[in-house]
Amino acid sequence: MSEKIERLKTLIIGSGPAGYTAAIYAARADLKPVVYTGMEPGGQLTTTTEVDNFPGYPEGIDGPTMMVQLQQQAERFGTEVRIGMATAVELSDTVGGIHKVTIDDNKTIEAETIIISTGASAKYLNIPSEQRLRGGGVSACAVCDGFFYRGQDVAIVGAGDTAAEEASYLANICNKVTMLVRKDHMRASKAMQHRVESLKNVEIRYNTEVDEVLGEQVVEGLRMVNNETGVKEDIAITGLFIAIGHKPSTDIFKGQLDMDETGYIITKGKSTKTNKPGVFASGDAQDREYRQAVTAAGTGCMAALDAERYLATVETPQETV
């Protein structure tokens, strides 16, 4: 027997700060939102030990606790949170049209509006010692975690504008920053290169890669290898920052939503509107610039408001089929 198709007013795909904030606003607007969490309920913050830069937490808070509280707040207003992953979508081109989403390859949801908050994931080197020490000194966000290494020696891996920006940020608060560049040149803009090169406490190592992150429970050092000579060298550090890019979790929307070359969903102007009516994108799925919890939450609020205004302009179809 085929399963009954469910019709929703607002479907939220993803459960990070953007998704849960969208759910809070949508629920308060009586949009009866349903959140599907995806494979990582709570998003990237569930892998973060301390969050010190989100407003309202003067003593800081650990990432998993913060996401549980955001979920509880969304549920308080009537949001239904479900474990499940969107595996296929069929988005309507028509204003007032119905969008179809397949959950876990076997359940069909029809939605009048969709808020995408699937986030993005940082790219890592994928060497065992790096993966083992994620959260113990290995981070993919200097702006998020750099504060904990104030006055200490750290290293950063990367050669683009993001790596250069994060190296500059770390140089302001850390004793020394060793920057590892895989090739004999940086990919960053000339202006960013000049900025990093002018910092006295930043040492740039070209043709250099990570061989192993040293330490049992926390980062204690780094073994580097020159990829031209094969010579290895150990340095003492307490933090390693990986800045080799992010990949937005937007693959299932390719071919239907406008995206940039990396896969970030393109939204219109200062709104969260996509090229499909009734489909809105928030958080790191559409933000390649800031990628912070607080900015993700802000765009989640915007997406819910955009969805509410959109629904007010179209005839509301029957809610169940």
Q: What residues are labeled active site?
A: 141, 144-145
Contact 132, 28 (CB under 8 A): no
Using DSSP's 3-state secondary structure scheme, residue 49 falls into coil
Beta bridge partners of 82: 36
How far is residue 101's CA from residue 119's CA, in Å, rounded to a whole number?
18
Q: Which helix (H) or strand (E) holds 129?
A: helix 128-132
Q: Name 82's Cβ contacts closer than 8 Å, sequence gap at least 6.
A: 34, 35, 36, 37
Contact 79, 15 (CB under 8 A): no
Contact 81, 93 (CB under 8 A): no
Residue 247: phi and psi, rounded to 5, are -120, 115
The pair of structure tokens assigned to 158 is: 């990367």
**Total residue count of the chain as it appears in this document:** 321
Q: At what angle do helices 190-197 and 161-173 cross, to 10 degrees?
A: 30
Which residue in the block uniquely carries the two structure tokens 């500059």?
Answer: 168
How far is residue 79's CA from residue 82's CA, in Å, rounded to a whole number?
10
Reported as half-sphere exposure (CB side, CA atoms, 13 A), residue 262 has a value of: 18
How far is residue 198's CA from residue 195's CA, in Å, rounded to a whole number?
5
